[in-house]
C-alpha cells in the first residue's frame, strides 16, 4: 500500500514538473503570435501592406535583393519563389503579390546569424508583380519582379 502512495505522489510530482516545463514554450508561442504582422495580413492593397510592413520608413529599391522565380508560371496555384538578400543585418523578409486579394503571401523573421535567404511556394491569383520587402537594421528595402500566370491560382486564365 505504501508503494501505491509513493507511485501516486511521484506521478503528481512529475505532472507538476511537466506543467512547469511547458510554461516557457507557451510564453514563446504567445510572443510569436503577438509579433505577427497582423495589420499587413489584413491589408487588401499592396501600398497598405508595404506601409504596414515598413512602418515609418520609406522602402528604398535595392538591386541587392534577388527574386528567383520564373517569369512565366504555368500554374498560379503553386509558384516556387526564392529570395536572396545581400544586405547586412537582415531582420525580416516578406513576399507580396500585387494582384492577390491579400497581398502579403509570407513573412519570415530572421535571427542575427541567419543567412538572408528564403524559398517557398506561393499562390498567385493572376499575372502580377511579386515584391520582396526586406527590413534590416539600416532601413527597409524593396525589389519587384513581374510574373505572368497562364492559369490562375483560382482556376482562371489571366
Domain ranges of the chain: 1-35, 43-149
Nearest to 96 by CA among 109, 77, 83: 83
Q: Are 128 and 97 in contact (CB under 8 A)?
A: yes
- pLDDT, tens digit, 9 for 90 and up, residues 100-139: 999 999 999 999 889 999 999 999 989 999 999 999 999 9
* 16 Cβ neighbours under 8 A, 6+ residues apart: none
CA distances from 121 to 14, 135, 156 (A): 43, 21, 19
Q: Are 101 and 24 in contact (CB under 8 A)?
A: no
CATH 2.60.40.2470, applies to 43-149: yes
- pLDDT, tens digit, 9 for 90 and up, residues 8-61: 777 887 777 777 777 676 665 555 545 556 667 677 888 888 888 888 889 999
Mean pLDDT of 65-78: 92
Per-residue confidence band for 155, with pLDDT thresholds at 50, 70 and 90: very low
Residue with cell 499592396: 46
Per-residue confidence band for 157, with pLDDT thresholds at 50, 70 and 90: very low
Residue 88 has pLDDT above 50, yes or no: yes
Residue with cell 493572376: 126
pLDDT of residue 47: 87
Half-sphere exposure at residue 144, Cβ-oriented, CA atoms within 13 angstroms = 10
pLDDT of residue 44: 80
β-sheet bridge partners, residue 147: 128
Mean pLDDT of 81-96: 96
Nearest-5° Cα angle at 42, 39 to 46: 90
Residue 65 has pLDDT above 90, yes or no: yes
pLDDT of residue 128: 94
Quote the pTM value.
0.73
Amino acid at each position: 500500500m505504501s508503494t501505491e502512495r509513493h507511485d501516486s505522489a511521484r506521478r503528481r510530482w512529475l505532472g507538476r514538473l511537466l506543467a512547469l516545463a511547458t510554461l516557457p514554450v507557451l510564453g514563446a508561442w504567445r510572443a510569436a503570435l503577438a509579433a505577427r504582422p497582423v495589420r499587413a495580413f489584413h491589408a487588401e492593397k499592396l501600398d497598405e501592406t508595404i506601409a504596414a510592413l515598413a512602418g515609418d520608413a520609406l522602402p528604398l529599391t535595392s538591386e541587392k535583393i534577388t527574386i528567383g522565380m520564373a517569369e512565366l508560371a504555368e500554374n498560379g496555384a503553386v509558384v516556387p519563389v526564392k529570395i536572396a538578400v545581400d544586405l547586412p543585418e537582415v531582420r525580416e523578409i516578406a513576399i507580396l503579390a500585387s494582384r492577390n486579394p491579400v497581398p502579403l503571401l509570407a513573412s519570415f523573421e530572421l535571427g542575427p546569424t541567419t543567412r538572408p535567404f528564403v524559398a517557398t511556394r506561393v499562390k498567385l491569383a493572376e499575372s502580377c508583380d511579386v515584391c520582396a520587402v526586406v527590413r534590416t537594421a539600416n532601413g527597409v528595402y524593396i525589389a519587384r519582379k513581374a510574373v505572368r500566370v497562364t492559369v490562375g491560382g483560382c482556376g482562371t486564365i489571366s
